Structure 1
Amino acid sequence: MTTADTDSRVRDFAGKRVLVTGGSRGIGAAVVRRFLDADAEVLTTARSRTSTVPEGAAFVEADVRTQAGVKAVAEAAQEALGGVDILVNNAGGARPFKNALAIPDEEWQDQLDLNHLASVRLDALVTPGMRERRSGAVVHVSSAAVPTSAPAFLHYTATKAALQNYSRGLALELAPFGVRVNAVSPGRTATPGGQATREQYMSLAEGAGQDDIIPPLGRDGRPDDITDAVLFLASVRASWLTGRNLTVDGGEFPVG
């Protein structure tokens, strides 16, 4: 990164109040670090604190799958930051099943709560302040796999598809108030959570090739590849973008 790039990011985010969910590891932790490097004030959250939570970020332990957990996060953001200028809804995840019909009802509900309703609920608590200030940015982290609807992950891709649709609608509602809403959809990315999920799938699929799939650009994504997209959409450089879904997947999914 050049000095000019660094200076630009500091100008974009210095003093900004940023809330990132799921920031204890992987993509979320990378996003938190980059905002901290740009002199933003950052609060992040996860179900438990780990040694990989970036130093310098405020932290609240909460389960955003629940209404109580989301409320605790919003209250912590108000207390620690005094408000939120940038919200990154990154918390999410899934575990694969043998096929779509094997996914139990409780797993569908869990995925709905984690991958969709957590964002809906937190947006409802955080964006009114942005509306009042007539300024703000929301970034939802979705998935590049949405168009494939793979049976083993159908509960995951269905809820992420709902997140994309909701994101576009919220963007239309908040645009007149100067608040932008966009989504980033990562493809296969080298993170501990992603690797664990791939190993689970390989076990279910009896080793059927998943580990041999390499995106056309020749490597798995890195957390910073996704972070670049998140920070761009949150920055003033994307001030004419709202309601968009930016797929970052190395060409892995040629549709969507």
Structure 2
Amino acid sequence: MWHVIQWVRSLVFIVQMYLMMVIVAVGFLPITLFSRKWVFHTIHLYCAWVRWTASWMVGLKSEIRGEVPQDEVIIAAKHQSFFDIILIASVIPRPKYIMKKQLRWAPIIGYYAKRVNCVAVDRGKRGAAIKQMVAEVNSGRSQPGQLVIFPQGTRVAAGAEKPYKIGTGVLYKETGQTVVPAATNVGVFWKRHGIMRYPGTAVVEFLPRIEPGKKIKDFMGEMEDVIETRSNALMEDAGFDLETGKRKFLEN
């Protein structure tokens, strides 16, 4: 019976979440056309709304740990669901993302992505995509912000394994920017697909910075190790069994 009630609550939450996306995006559209500052205000407002409604509608609280980057850095984040995007964007001052090219033409998302200087790449052409990322990141430096990239290239289910792509290492070397790794456990509560949202505490944790100057191979090894180690620890703390891929208990 609990699962039925939670599923209904989750459905209501999802519907209102996307409805509010439209209301907020369209409502603030006129002022965002003239002020980039208000673009970020709008994004922060929407993300705060999602976090707040998740906390009481489905019992999914959220927490940010570690030092939140305020300067111009690359954030290399573990990506498990839409919720880790929301959590990161809710706290960094000027978020911009490496995103798949198709999203550039998506209603609402495409407009705001362009306004914050997101970098759209064709993931199907690996070599060209890496060159494009470097070129667009370098050319966009006149608009400072925190560039978020998902080193595994896509959402990865909690407990699943997927190799880290070289693109983050190339960006690290070619831009000369500091990289801030970020771990998460959100996939335990908010899966990549499906309606069900589980109660508990979803965490995004910003980890110690990796400063410029390392060889790409060394950087990639260090980044993957710290992200995976800390993400696994966060998932285990949330009651997730890494061997079976299932939760050991449900928080009430």
TM range (shorter): 0.3 to 0.5
Structure having greater relative contact order (Cα 8 Å, sep ≥ 6): 2
TM-score by length of 1: 0.42
TM-score by length of 2: 0.42
